Structure 1
Amino acid sequence: MAKLTLTTIRDFVGEDLGTSDWVIVDQSMIDQFATCTGDKQWIHIDPDRASRESPAGATIAHGFLSLSLIAPLGMDLGLAPVDASAVFNYGLDKVRFLTPVKSGSRVRLQISMTSVEPKDNGRLLIKGNAILEIENSQTPALVAETLTLVVP
């Protein structure tokens, strides 16, 4: 895990910040996400139908559920400088959903820092490259360019 500070953050540009622990994306997590978002498509919440009709042969996580894992796993990897007063998800420049995450799969995050851009009032904009891997899959679930705003 990286130990970024406001003083050393630029030293990590171009560096891999690490790989997170595995997280299980189970049916309970998928169902909770469906309830929160109102996205209750059968491919996500009906295991019986999904096993019969889905190309994946099982229910799959919502793409945005997979995407939402980047923030907490990135924080676990130390993306936020330890001496910052606040760190905000500022957005995404590119996201590509490459492989569906089947219910019961384990995923983990690899993240690297591609740039740090100074903003007004001493704030910094971190651009990162995030890859959400699926255990035993050659192709990741998604790749994304992340933007994180750091407030000193």
Structure 2
Amino acid sequence: MRESAPTFEELRGLIGQELGVSDWVTVSQERINQFAQCTGDHQWIHVDAEQARRKSPLRTTIAHGYLSLSLIGFFIQDMRILPDNTQGAFNYGINHVRFLAPVKAGARVRLRTTLLAMEDKGPGQYLMTATNTMEIEGEENSALVAETMVMLYERRRKREA
């Protein structure tokens, strides 16, 4: 993780570079159950450990793919990738996402982020595009790779009178 957040100017100079690697986070069964409750997706492969032990080729429950994808925002904030004077950061889209390996309940994941582009979209507005790879501790394959876009708004200093 970064010691300090980059400035908007510094970000523009980091295109093509890795911005950071997050700490490991456990994807607990409780977290999976909470996501199921929020989304209404109660498929047994996610929430029924006994049935998963009997019927799943993985013999355990797994996180929803969209739960894993939704963790990207948390990791980005935690890694201190966005400048401190960011007034707002809004999801703008996902150009590409691939779910490469399931995240088993209890597994630990982390995010590795590389900056692809910083486009000026107007005064104090930037469209940031990044490749995000979610790794699973102890696994050869990553959980997912997603190219995300975030619209950033820079907090401007007030002019002195």
Q: Normalising to structure 2: TM-score of the pair? A: 0.91
Q: Secondary structure at the match of 1:119?
A: strand
2:74 corresponds in structure 1 to 72
Which residue of the other structure, out of 121, 124, 129, is the alignment partner of 1:122? 124
For 2:87, the aligned partner's letter is S
1:1-150 alignment, distance < 5 Å: 1=2, 3-150=5-152
Measure, in 1, the Cα distance between the counterparts of 2:92 and 2:57: 34
Secondary structure of 1:149's partner?
Answer: strand
Q: CA deviation at 1:122?
A: 3.1
**Bigger radius of gyration:** 2
State the one-letter code of the partner of 1:48.
Answer: E
Runs of 4+ residues deviating >2 angstroms: none
Aligned with 2:115: secondary structure? strand
Q: Give distance in 2, aligned partners of 1:58 and 1:24.
A: 15
**Which blocks of at least 5 consecutive residues in structure 1 are unaligned?**
none
Shift of 1:112: 0.8
Shift of 1:119: 0.8
Percentage identity across paired residues of the two chains: 46
2:157 is matched with which residue? none
With normalisation by structure 1, the TM-score equals 0.96
* SS of residue in 2 equivalent to 1:104: coil
* CA distance in structure 2 between the aligned counterparts of 1:107 and 1:8, rounded to whole angstroms: 28
Amino acid at match of 1:104: G
Q: For residues 4 and 87 of structure 1, what CA distance do their matches in structure 2 show? A: 15
SS in 2 for 1:85: strand
How many residues align? The count is 152
SS at match of 1:40: coil
Counterpart Cα distance in 1 of 2:87 and 2:42: 38
The 2-side partners of 1:36 and 1:50 are apart by 21
Note the residue ranges of structure 2 that are not aligned, 5 or more in a row: 155-161
Alignment RMSD (CA, Å): 1.1
> AA paired with 2:72?
I
Aligned-partner Cα distance in 1 for 2:53–2:17? 41
Name the amino acid aligned to 2:54.
R
Give the aligned residue type for 2:152. V
